[in-house]
């Protein structure tokens, strides 16, 4: 029984990690329809930011807290640079964007290898985040996972609020729903695009900081998770955050349960099959914005 409960929480926390890495994509892919394969490398940049900060701020807890906003800014800036240099030329060619940003991700990985070396680097986590909270008998929950769950809930809440209540958020939604109309209504769509991209990429940086608590920090850390994150947004549907949120937790739970009964390999394959089957039922994802247009 305790194992099942533990596994339930594992599912939730896998979902939280998935959501954290997919949240930025829900903005850039979900809202702007840009397939940014370099998103994983922005996550990597966030993780390396934590590493670099720890070289100067030795206190593990403090450096982690400082790293969150700094990584947001670093990854966000990289995103803006990418948007300005390449992506804005490619808005009408989503598939080409995929290939171009794949090229960018290759170069960023090699850059990380040249700067930080090929081997993984380590960061020190604050002690409290390497321990676990006991919930009776044999059941305990890793503090790092709780931290990530809290972080992702906070991020979702902040993002939702920002989209709903701030002028910027309203502009973003206006551009998503009807770019031409937004443009003629005086909304500077190019600037809104860039800001959206900044926030989406910045969230990748935050995810990178959080991932230092769980996994390796190395040049290829982004590539291993990026496809899963894209699948979350694909299944969640375009244009709405709630789809990604629900799907991340459902997929996390599904993977945890299947993996518990079989193996991780089988779980991955079954999750993939489930996704293809789901898209048969709802080809546009869980939630979509319905608009009257040819496409």
With binding defined as CB under 8 A, does residue 45 bind other proteins? no
- For 221-240, where are the alpha helices, taking DSSP H only? 223-236
Q: How far is the CB of 165 from other proteins (least distance, A)?
A: 22
Residue located via tokens 């040819």: 294
Nearest distance, CB of residue 47 and other proteins, angstroms: 11
Instruction: Return d(Cα 284, Cα 80) in angstroms, integer.
Output: 28
Contact between residue 20 and residue 42 where contact means Cβ atoms under 8 Å apart: no
Answer yes or no whether residue 195 interacts with other proteins by CB under 8 A.
no
Number of residues that bind other proteins (CB under 8 A): 89
Q: Site residues for other proteins, window 121-150 (CB under 8 A)?
A: 121-125, 129-132, 134, 138, 140, 142-145
Query: How far is it, in rounded angstroms, from Cα 208 to Cα 63?
Result: 14
Sites for other proteins among residues 210-229 (CB under 8 A): 213-218, 220-221, 223-225, 227
- The answer to the question of residue 191 lying near other proteins (CB under 8 A) is no
Taking CB under 8 A as the criterion, which residues in 67-126 touch other proteins?
A: 86, 89-90, 92-96, 98-100, 102-107, 109-110, 113-114, 118-125
Helix (H) or strand (E) run with residue 113 in it: helix 94-116
Nearer to other proteins, 106 or 190 (CB): 106
Per the listing, tokens 């954290």 go with 20
Window 258 to 287, contacts with other proteins (CB under 8 A): 259-260, 263-266, 268-269, 272-273, 275-276, 279-280, 283-284
170 is an interface residue for other proteins by CB under 8 A? no
Number of helices followed by number of strands (H, E) in the chain = 11, 2
What are the C-alpha distances in Å from 109 to residues 68, 81, 232?
A: 21, 17, 24
């Amino acid at each position: 029984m305790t194992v099942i409960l533990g596994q339930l929480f594992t599912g939730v926390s896998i979902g939280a990690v998935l959501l954290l890495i997919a949240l930025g994509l829900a903005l850039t892919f979900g809202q702007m329809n840009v397939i940014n394969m370099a998103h994983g490398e922005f996550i990597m940049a966030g993780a390396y930011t934590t590493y670099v900060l720890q070289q100067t701020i030795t206190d593990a807890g403090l450096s982690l807290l400082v790293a969150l906003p700094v990584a947001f800014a670093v990854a966000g800036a990289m995103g803006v640079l990418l948007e300005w240099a390449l992506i804005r030329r490619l808005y009408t060619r989503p598939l080409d964007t995929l290939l171009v940003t794949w090229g960018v991700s290759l170069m960023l990985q090699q850059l990380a290898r040249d700067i930080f070396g090929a081997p993984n680097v380590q960061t020190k986590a604050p002690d409290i985040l390497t321990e676990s909270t006991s919930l009776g008998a044999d059941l305990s929950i890793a503090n790092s996972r709780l931290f990530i769950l809290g972080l992702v809930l906070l991020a979702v809440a902040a993002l939702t609020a920002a989209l709903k209540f701030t002028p910027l958020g309203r502009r973003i939604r206006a551009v998503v729903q009807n770019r031409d109309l937004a443009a003629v209504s005086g909304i500077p769509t190019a600037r809104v695009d860039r800001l959206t991209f900044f926030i989406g990429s910045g969230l990748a940086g935050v995810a990178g900081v959080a991932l230092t608590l769980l996994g390796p920090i190395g040049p290829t850390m982004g590539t291993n998770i990026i496809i899963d994150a894209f699948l979350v947004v694909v299944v969640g549907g375009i244009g709405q955050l709630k789809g990604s949120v629900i799907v991340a937790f459902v997929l996390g739970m599904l993977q945890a349960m299947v993996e518990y009964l079989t193996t991780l390999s089988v779980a991955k394959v079954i999750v993939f099959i489930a996704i293809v089957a789901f898209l048969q039922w709802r080809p546009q994802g869980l939630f979509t914005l319905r608009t009257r247009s040819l496409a």
